[in-house]
Amino acid sequence: MTNRKSTKRALLGSVMAMVLCLAMLVGATFAWFTDTASTGVNKIQAGNLDVQLVDENGNSLEGKTLEFKKAANAAEGEAVLWEPGCTYELPAVYVKNNGKLALKYKVTITGINGSAKLNDVIDWTINDADLSADHSLAAGATSEALTIKGHMKESAGNEYMNESIDGIAITVAATQDTVENDSFGNTYDKDAKYPIVAMDTLQELINNATEPVSAKLEGNIAGSLTVPQDKEVTLDLNGFTLTGGDSHAILNHGTLCIKDSSGTGKIVASKANTSALRNAADCVIDGGTFTRAAGVDNKWHTVENFGTMTFNGGKVIAEDGQSFAIVNGWNYIDPGEQKATMTINNIEMKAGPNGFKNCAGGTLTMNDGILHCTGYWGLSNDSTGVATINGGKIISDKYVAISDGGAKMEINGGTFNGPQGSLYVQNYAQGTVVKGGSYQNETVEFMRNYCPEGYTATLKGDMVVVSKD
């Protein structure tokens, strides 16, 4: 009798365990896996995607720029000459699926060795089909030979003369395909999205969005991005580089947040008279480096704000060119009633020769961060600009840290270094008030001129320190 009761208890326990396991399975969250796990003697093998781009010999093409084939009788060193109606092709490439899941992929152009302008009049195909077409590839399989061709439109006019493209960089973007069956059928991954590796993919995603967009780069991309007025976008650079085309790398008319989860992401202005970032609405910067491509003719402000901008992090590096690294407001233009507002909670700016300019209509509040200029002013408050400095460091390697010629400037704290002084007050400055801060290469007498009642300047070591009485 006792044995029978024990058997019943064991059976009941087994049934309950099965019920619990089933409940856990039904309540599980769908996901696309890329890893493996094991427990005890039971092994759970998770599917993975592993795509590779190779040449005809199976050699990886990772990081290489593909050069166009030339005519068999072309002279050594002869350039690839584009003209209306011509067609050039690249050597054949292959896509290899090293993973355990079937995938679908598309090939995108992610870099141009030459003129981005010329690219506007070239139609690209892959095996004579549209370059944006989807392709399927089974687990462990290698694609057929893929031949990419570029055909210059017959309608291209004289404005494209002397432009050249010697080669391109391509990226294969892959995602899961609806092939493998699981307990839910084979349509589980029908909505799997391609990673963002091309500008047209990102721009299309934003343009078609009906709700806030959160986008994460999965590779370097080239081209200019515009955020429309009614869009809300969070862009994670994820350690990759967005290089602008013939316009601003990013032009924001909507609500934009830029971050960089990997810490090495960049936004690069590549053409003269374009910015890495021009903001005309609402923008928050949490990370990323904003800079310019090297080139004597690539000159303009690196970051421009004509709306509301907040720096919570990030870097602005503008050591090449003659323009300011950051401009807040309208430089040499009367903005009327328009206002530009910038708040700096944290930033690292290094510029040469011109640093930060707070211009007409600009309101700046700096709480922390570093503004470092190797040339003239670290910060220039000009025209009708209003600036409040609560903390941080402003440095000039050759001149004066701060130049004030604006409507109002109040300094409540911070450290200011310049070989020719920390503060220069232009004769047209409308109101300069100093209530705190530490100043290198200044005199107590000079700083007291700008201390209101209840505040004083004293010499401490090699710094003049302003504090409340």
pLDDT per residue as tens digits for the range 44-60 = 344 456 888 889 999 99
- Among 56-70, 95-109, 288-302, top mean pLDDT goes to 288-302
CA–CA dist 198, 110 (Å, integer): 6
Give percent of the chain with pLDDT exceeding 90: 55
Is the Cβ–Cβ distance between 305 and 329 less than 8 Å? yes
**pTM for this model (two decimals):** 0.68
Those residues whose C-beta lies under 8 Å from the C-beta of residue 448, and which sit 6 or more positions away, are 456, 457
Phi then psi for residue 16, to 5 deg, are -60, -40
Token pair of 210 as six digits: 């009906």
- Alpha helical stretches, state H, 27-155: 116-119
Domain borders along the chain are: 51-71+78-176, 199-468
For 65, how many CA atoms within 13 A lie in the half-sphere containing its CB? Answer: 10
Q: What is the pLDDT of residue 369?
A: 98
**220-242 pLDDT per residue, tens:** 888 999 999 999 999 999 999 99
3-state secondary structure of 230: coil
- Give the length of the chain: 469
Token pair of 59 as six digits: 């050699």
Those residues whose C-beta lies under 8 Å from the C-beta of residue 456, and which sit 6 or more positions away, are 448, 466, 467, 469
Check pLDDT > 50 for residue 77.
yes
- Mean pLDDT for all residues in the chain: 85
Is the Cβ–Cβ distance between 258 and 227 less than 8 Å? no
Those residues whose C-beta lies under 8 Å from the C-beta of residue 202, and which sit 6 or more positions away, are 196, 215, 217, 221, 225
Q: What is the pLDDT of residue 24?
A: 38
CA–CA dist 266, 242 (Å, integer): 6
- Among 11-25, 37-51, 444-458, top mean pLDDT goes to 444-458
Instruction: Please report, as a single letter, which amino acid is at residue 349.
Output: M
Check pLDDT > 70 for residue 32.
no
Is the Cβ–Cβ distance between 286 and 309 less than 8 Å? no
Query: Which residue has 């072309």 as its token pair?
Result: 74
What letter does residue 160 receive in the DSSP assignment? G
CATH number of the structural domain 51-71+78-176: 2.60.40
Q: Decide the pairing of beta strands 303-305 and 277-279.
A: parallel
Check pLDDT > 50 for residue 287.
yes
